[in-house]
Structure 1
Amino acid sequence: MAVRRFVRGRIEWPRLEAVCREFAARYDESVVRVEFLDGDNWLSTPCVVDERWFVKVITPQNALVHALFTAGRNLGVFSSGTEGFFERFDSPVEMAEHELDATRRIRAVGVNAPEPIEAFAHEELGVLVLEYLPDFRTLADLTQTETATFAPTLFASLGRLHGAGFGHGDLRAENVLVADGELYFIDATSVRADAIADARSYDLACALAALEPAIGARAAVDAAVGRYTIEELLAAREFIGFVDMRPDHDFDAALLRGEIEKRAA
C-alpha cells in the first residue's frame, strides 16, 4: 500500500492547502470549499474549487508514472506494426502546460472542451486550472439510447479535431463528458506530429471501442461511417488489438474488427 501511495504521488494536506492559498492569491479570491474527486487517479490529484474551477495538482511521482505509462503504450503500439507515437513530459508543470494547450487547441477548432484558465508551478508541483462543468456525466454513464444519440456527435467532433491536424491520444469513455446536452473532450495527451496519421487511426479505434459495449459493433461502425471512410476504418482496425490490451477499455474486439471487415467487403 505504501508503494501504491508513493507511485500515485498522493499529496499531504498541508501541501494541498499551500496550493489552495497560492490559487486564492492568484485570483484574489477567498477559497471557501475544496472538494476532492473520488477515483483511481494515477496522474494527478483532481479537485473542484468553489464549484467554479476544476484543478489538477500534479506531483513528480505523477510525472514519473506518466513516463512509465507512455513507454508501455509505445511498446504496445508496436503490436500494431507501427512506431510508437506517444510523447512523455519531463516535469509536472510540463504535464499541466500541455493539457492547457491541448484544451485550447480543441476549443480553437470548434470542439467542446472545458474553458482553459491557466497552468502554473507551485514549488515542485504542476497545477492546471480549467472551467468546472457541473452535473456532467461521462460517456460510460449514459444509457444505451443516449449513447446512440451522441455517437454521431462523437465522430463529428473527433473528425473535426483530426481535420485540423490534431490527435487526442487518450480517447476513452471517461474522457468524453456530456453536460447540458453537449459533448466535451478532456484529457488529451501528447502525440508526435510526424506520426499524426497513426495517432488518428488509434483515436478512431478507441472511439469505436468506447461505443461498442453500449450500442454494439454494428451501430458503432454505422456512426463512424457518417464521418470516416472505409479506408480510415480499416486503418483503425489495425489498432484494435492494442486498444483491447489496455485495461481502461472493455469491448468485443473480434466483433468490432469483423464489422469493419464486413463494411470493407
Structure 2
Amino acid sequence: MDFRRLVRGQVDRPQLERVGREIAARYDRDRVHVSVLEADNWLSTPCVVDDEWFVKVISPQNALVHAVFTGVRNLGVFSRGEEGFFERFESPLAMSQHELEATRKVREIGINAPEPIEAFGVDEVGVLMLEYLPDFRTLDDLDPTEVEALAPALFEALSRMHDHNLAHGDLRGENVLVHDGELYFIDATNVREDGLAAARAYDLASALATLEPAIGGKRAVEIAVGAYDIDALLAAREFLDFVRLRPDHDFEAAHVKGEIEKWAD
C-alpha cells in the first residue's frame, strides 16, 4: 500500500462490501451498488450508492488524520494569541454523527445542503449517508463570471449561519457545491461553542480567500460588504495570514487586507 493511501486511511473493498450489505439491510434491498468516487480526500472514502445516496465511510485512520489537522489548525490560532476553537472527534462514528447533525442544522435555518439520511457504525468505521446530488460542480470548478454571480449568495448564506450561532469551520471551494444554479454547503467541521466569534471571523476570511483568485480581492470585499459590517471584515482580516498558510487556499492575502482597510478608512 502506498504511503498516501495509508495516511488517508482509504477503506478496502471487503469493508465497503460490509457497509453495502448493512445499507441494503437497513433499506430492505437485496443488494446495493457501491461506487467509490475519485476524490483527493484525506478524511473519508466517498462513495455513491445506487445513484441515490452519497456515502462517506470514515476509518480510524481518517479520524486520526482529522485529529492531527485539528491540532495544527489550533496551533495556528494559538499563534495569533487566541484560544483554539476547532474540536477533534473521539471516533469515526462521532465524525459521521457530527456531520449529519451539522447538515440538519444548516438546512433548518434555510440554507441548502444535501438532505441528511443517517449516520451509523459498521465494525470500526463510521458511515454517513446524505442525499446524492447528480451533476453538481464545486465552486472551484466555475469560471470567474459564474463565481462573481454566486458570491453574494455565498456571503448571505454564511451570514445566516453566523446569525444563528453556527460556523462552518472549513469553508473552501470544494466544500461549496453548485447544483441547478444554487449553492449547497457540505463538510462543516466541529467548532467549540465558546469559540464561535473567532470561528465566524475565520469563516469570513476563508470565504474571501476562496473568492479572491477568481474575482480579485477588491470585488470579493465589495460583495462581502453587502452581508457583513466593517467590524466583521476587520476581524476576518486578522485571520487571513493564517488561512493563507493552508495548502488548500492560494490567494493574495495582502491585497485582501488592503481592500478591507480601504473600507475601514
State the TM-score bracket (shorter-chain normalisation): over 0.9
Where 1:188 maps in the other structure, the secondary structure is coil
- Give distance in 1, aligned partners of 2:24 and 2:181: 31
Deviation at 1:79, TM superposition (A): 2.9
- Give distance in 2, aligned partners of 1:105 and 1:31: 31
Where 2:161 maps in the other structure, the secondary structure is helix
> After superposition, what is the alpha-carbon deviation per residue over 1:145-172, rounded to whole angstroms, capped at 9, x for unaligned?
1100000000000000000001000000
Q: Is the contact between residue 205 and residue 240 of structure 2 (CA under 8 Å) also seen in structure 1?
A: yes
1:233 matched residue in structure 2: 233
1:36 matched residue in structure 2: 36
Deviation at 1:7, TM superposition (A): 1.9
Deviation at 1:30, TM superposition (A): 3.8
Where 1:119 maps in the other structure, the secondary structure is strand
Where 1:213 maps in the other structure, the secondary structure is helix
Please show how residues 1-265 of structure 1 align to structure 2 within 5 Å.
2-265=2-265
- Give distance in 2, aligned partners of 1:11 and 1:43: 11
Where 1:121 maps in the other structure, the secondary structure is strand
Q: Is the contact between residue 76 and residue 242 of structure 1 (CA under 8 Å) also seen in structure 2?
A: yes
Where 2:174 maps in the other structure, the secondary structure is helix
Further displaced range: 208-217 or 70-79: 70-79
Structure 2 counterpart of 1:218, one-letter code: K
- Give distance in 2, aligned partners of 1:121 and 1:56: 11
Deviation at 1:81, TM superposition (A): 2.7
Q: Is the contact between residue 79 and residue 242 of structure 1 (CA under 8 Å) also seen in structure 2?
A: no
- Give distance in 2, aligned partners of 1:221 and 1:85: 25
- Give distance in 1, aligned partners of 2:233 and 2:43: 31
Q: Is the contact between residue 48 and residue 54 of structure 1 (CA under 8 Å) also seen in structure 2?
A: yes
Further displaced range: 250-259 or 92-101: 250-259
- Give distance in 2, aligned partners of 1:118 and 1:212: 36
- Give distance in 2, aligned partners of 1:188 and 1:206: 13
Identity of aligned residues (%): 66
**Structure-1-length-normalised TM-score:** 0.98
- Give distance in 1, aligned partners of 2:180 and 2:31: 26
- Give distance in 2, aligned partners of 1:214 and 1:51: 32
Point out where structure 2 has 5 or more consecutive residues left out of the alignment. none
Q: Is the contact between residue 74 and residue 86 of structure 1 (CA under 8 Å) also seen in structure 2?
A: yes
Structure 2 counterpart of 1:151, one-letter code: A
Q: Is the contact between residue 16 and residue 34 of structure 2 (CA under 8 Å) also seen in structure 1?
A: no
Structure 2 counterpart of 1:23, one-letter code: I
Q: Is the contact between residue 8 and residue 43 of structure 1 (CA under 8 Å) also seen in structure 2?
A: yes
- Give distance in 2, aligned partners of 1:9 and 1:158: 31
Structure 1 counterpart of 2:22, one-letter code: E
**Structure-2-length-normalised TM-score:** 0.98
Q: How many residues align?
A: 265
Deviation at 1:33, TM superposition (A): 2.9
Structure 1 counterpart of 2:90, one-letter code: D
Structure 1 counterpart of 2:259, one-letter code: E
Deviation at 1:181, TM superposition (A): 1.1
Q: Is the contact between residue 67 and residue 89 of structure 1 (CA under 8 Å) also seen in structure 2?
A: yes
Deviation at 1:32, TM superposition (A): 4.5
